Structure 1
Amino acid sequence: MYTVGQLSKLTGVSVRTLHYYEKMGLLQPDRNTGNQYRSYSENDILRLQKIAVLKHMHFKLSEIKIVLDKGEVAHNNVAVWSRALTQQMAFVKQQQEKLQAVEHLLYSTLYAMRASEQVNIDEMLGFIRELEQPPQGKELRQQYFSPEELELLPINDVSNPLAMEWADILRRVKGLLAEPPDSPAAQQLASSIIEYADKMFGGDEQLIQKYWDYITPQEDQSARVYGMTTDVMQYMDAIIRIYMGGEDPRP
């Protein structure tokens, strides 16, 4: 058992905060019938540990109380502590996945602005919609690609500077759509695309082709990857075929 002062010193949680947790019903230390001094048990420490984790994840105290009220009593039980920590790790992972999804949306929005050099209100509306109704794209990719291939895809790592570099190439493509595919500017662009694809996919031509097929929109479908519309992809096909002398390595 620990006094409030001892617990505060050992955990770094102030005495005032511990008192407030008690007032909120988050902690329920024993009280000495004579002097009303508080005594904190191992179960209180387990609850305090959960509070610390959930607070760090920006949960409200009222929400934390609901979580805690579903918990178990520790009584120095290794199984209970292990179960509690395992549940917390699963919960943290779930929150990480949600934050990664938000990070990907933020990155995608920056990518779209860089590729188009403008703020598109439709993109912002889509951003909000995807936060409220997450798309099924991840599940579709998992069906199409192996776990090893997914690790290599440009859409997998939003921190990869090469991913944002494609926005610059895409902007160049859109600016040249009216140019003949065999023009010097178009052929210089084809060279950049091939060089980029080689860097992004590590020279894996099979994966390049598979990814190209995956992002190619089906008839009457919108682009699967921002900006990769049918006309853009057809133009890229044309300039690359000419650059390669009739061959067709697609990025």
Structure 2
Amino acid sequence: MYTIGQLSQKTNIPISTLRYYDELGILKPAQVADSGYRYYSNEELRILHHITALKELGFTLSAIKELLAAEKSDKEFRWKAYLEFELEAIAKQKDRLDELEKLLQTTKYALEMKGEIEPEDIFLFIQAMRTPAGIRESFLAKHFTERESRIIRNLPNLNSDDPRSMQWAKLVRAAKDHLHEPPSSEMSQKLARQFVEISMDWFEQDEQLIEKYWALIRPEQDEQAKVFGMDREVMDYIDSIVDWYLANVQKESMHEKGKTD
């Protein structure tokens, strides 16, 4: 026989918890002496191990009490019911955590882009995440070929842990910070080169697809950005610095060609 203190030491379960189990009727001592001391046998030790295992599986104390009190013929049914309930609850929790992770990832990149986050931004992120995949697929099918759609699906997504997402966020932030730089400035041309290199890499060197995609995501005057961070002002700046960059690259190329002719 074990005193309540000995049972506590043997199982690493606090005495207060063992007393609480007694009050709930989950684990009654085998014997209570006239002095009030509780004594437990190996049978109670076995039951305590059972209770601990069920708690690890996520069972509530009320469910554990019902399961322990159930007749042998009823236990299999109760086990199945409780296990199905816990598995369903875990699946929902995993979905919730997955959605939360995506929301946090998006917010992290958005903060990098803007330097601040508005409640309206988070609301839009939640809406975007919960938009049925079929809507995006319909958009792709309407505007792009199968090959083009594959390329666009592979673009970095702000809700994923893709290093390209942070690369893009930092580049857009830099563009926002230098909106009023002239296109010919050293900084503007440095940014332009990065935008061109990234675009050519991510769009598999397809210049026509880049122009097509860029035109589709460009918001009209006073219209909300269609892609986060890419409002009209930012896109106009990127257009101006990239046009200057490409024109000068073309001039340099023609100059070099003239030297060799």
Judge same fold: TM > 0.5, yes or no.
Answer: yes
Q: Counterpart of 2:26?
A: 29
SS at match of 2:57: helix
Q: More displaced, 165-174 or 180-189? A: 180-189
**In the alignment, which of 116, 128, 135 is matched to residue 137 of structure 1?**
128
Deviation at 1:96, TM superposition (A): 1.4
Give 1:1-251 correspondences, 5 Å limit: 14-16=12-14, 19-20=16-17, 23=20, 29-32=26-29, 34-35=31-32, 37=40, 38=44, 39-40=47-48, 42=50, 45-50=53-58, 73=67, 75-76=75-76, 79-80=80-81, 82-100=83-101, 101-113=103-115, 120=116, 123=117, 125-126=118-119, 130=122, 135-140=126-131, 142=133, 143-145=135-137, 152-181=154-183, 186-200=188-202, 212=214, 215-241=217-243, 243-244=245-246
List per-residue Cα deviations over 1:76-101 (Å, max 9, x = no partner). Answer: 55634641452243133133124312
* Paired residues of 1:186 and 1:239 also in contact (CA < 8 A): yes
Q: Where does the alignment leave 5 or more consecutive residues of structure 2 unmatched? A: 33-37, 69-74, 141-148, 248-261
Identical amino acids, percent of aligned pairs: 23
Distance 1:102 1:206 in 2: 34
Q: Normalising by the residue count of structure 2, what TM-score does the alignment of the two structures yield?
A: 0.56
Instruction: Name the one with the larger helix percent.
Output: 2
Q: Normalising by the residue count of structure 1, what TM-score does the alignment of the two structures yield?
A: 0.58
Q: Where does the alignment leave 5 or more consecutive residues of structure 1 unmatched? A: 52-63, 114-119, 246-251
Distance 2:183 2:235 in 1: 12
Distance 1:218 1:192 in 2: 25
List per-residue Cα deviations over 1:149-191 (Å, max 9, x = no partner). Answer: 7863323455333322223322443355445546665444322
Q: More displaced, 75-84 or 21-30? A: 21-30
Q: What is the aligned-residue RMSD (CA, Å)?
A: 4.8
- Cα 1:220/1:111, change in 2 over 3 Å: closer
- Cα 1:169/1:87, change in 2 over 3 Å: same
SS at match of 2:126: coil
Greater Cα radius of gyration, structure 1 or 2: 2
* Paired residues of 1:27 and 1:48 also in contact (CA < 8 A): no
Distance 2:24 2:221 in 1: 60
Q: More displaced, 203-212 or 136-145? A: 203-212
List per-residue Cα deviations over 1:94-152 (Å, max 9, x = no partner). Answer: 33124312343244224432xxxxxx4xx3x427x837x96311234832247977863
